[in-house]
């Protein structure tokens, strides 16, 4: 489970604690809950009230389920957010071991991820409150000029519900095929993030 702490609210003193979990872990449990009982709980930690809000991380092949259906159902069940990951391309032959398993074998689903911004656009069209996140955007594999425009449009049309999760990835061949420099990907990620910020604010 990944946890991201948001800034503490100056008005309420609450600190939002976003946790997004893999779809298969909560789907059966969530399916038994009524929509009026959202998936959230309050925690007291270090004297600070932490409101834990649960999001849904969708790591499924594009052809298995319509993102619009998943998003609509997630909102009905009280999830705070929905997150889509990306792998634009995975070579047939690779020397990059998968970090999420002991044997290093890449799950077959990783070659079939949906395009996250298309999925989030569909999710946006059928929901009203559900936050829409990338978990993650491989920022070193995208053109910052194009990405800035895509994100601005999605955030505008969704009513400001977009959450921008970024990372550099672990797959050398994928990064290099998409034009990134794997050995300097963290430097490239910082440069891209600063470029995006400038495009949105200056």
User: For 118-140, how does the pLDDT look when each residue is reduced to its tens digit (9 = 90+)?
Assistant: 999 999 999 999 999 999 999 99
> Alpha-carbon distance 147 to 21, whole Å?
26
Reply yes or no on whether the pLDDT at 43 is more than 80. Answer: no
What mean pLDDT, rounded, does the chain reach? 81
Residue pointed to by tokens 């389920």: 65
Give me the pLDDT at residue 109, please.
Answer: 85
Are 1 and 56 a contacting pair, CB within 8 Å? Answer: no
Average pLDDT over residues 130-159: 97
Sorting pLDDT into bands at 50, 70 and 90, what band is 25? very low
Domains plus CATH for the chain?
2-201 (3.20.20.30)
- The angle at the Cα of 94, spanning 88 to 99, to the nearest 5 degrees, equals 80
> Alpha-carbon distance 58 to 119, whole Å?
10
Average pLDDT over residues 58-79: 89
Give me the pLDDT at residue 61, please.
Answer: 76
Sorting pLDDT into bands at 50, 70 and 90, what band is 62? confident
**Which tokens sit at 181?**
């420099």
The counts of H helices and E strands in the chain are 6, 9
Average pLDDT over residues 38-56: 59
Give me the pLDDT at residue 127, please.
Answer: 98
Q: Which of 90, 98, 62, 105 is nearest to 175 (CA)?
A: 90
| Residues in CB range of 57: below 8 A, 6 or more apart | 2, 20, 21, 22, 23, 82, 83, 85, 135
Average pLDDT over residues 23-36: 40
| 101-120: pLDDT as tens digits | 899 999 888 888 899 999 99
Least confident of 62-66, 158-162, 174-178, 179-183: 62-66
Are 90 and 111 a contacting pair, CB within 8 Å? Answer: yes
């Amino acid at each position: 489970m990944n946890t991201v702490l948001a800034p503490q609210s100056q008005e309420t003193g609450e600190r939002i604690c976003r946790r997004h979990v893999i779809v298969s872990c909560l789907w059966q449990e969530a399916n038994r809950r009524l929509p009026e009982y959202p998936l959230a709980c309050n925690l007291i930690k270090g004297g600070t009230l932490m409101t834990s809000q649960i999001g849904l991380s969708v790591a499924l092949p594009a052809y298995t389920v319509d993102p619009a259906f998943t998003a609509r159902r997630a909102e009905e069940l009280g999830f705070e957010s929905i997150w889509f990951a990306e792998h634009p391309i995975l070579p047939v032959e690779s020397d990059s071991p998968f970090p999420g398993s002991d044997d290093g074998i890449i799950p077959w689903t990783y070659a079939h991820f949906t395009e996250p911004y298309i999925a989030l656009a569909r999710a946006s069209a059928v929901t009203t409150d559900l936050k829409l996140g990338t978990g993650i955007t491989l920022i070193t594999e995208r053109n910052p000029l194009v990405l800035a425009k895509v994100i601005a449009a999605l955030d505008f049309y969704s009513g400001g519900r977009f959450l921008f999760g970024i990372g550099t990835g672990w797959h050398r061949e994928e990064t290099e095929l998409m034009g990134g420099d794997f050995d300097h990907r963290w430097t490239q990620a910082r440069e891209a993030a600063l470029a995006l910020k400038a495009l949105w604010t200056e």
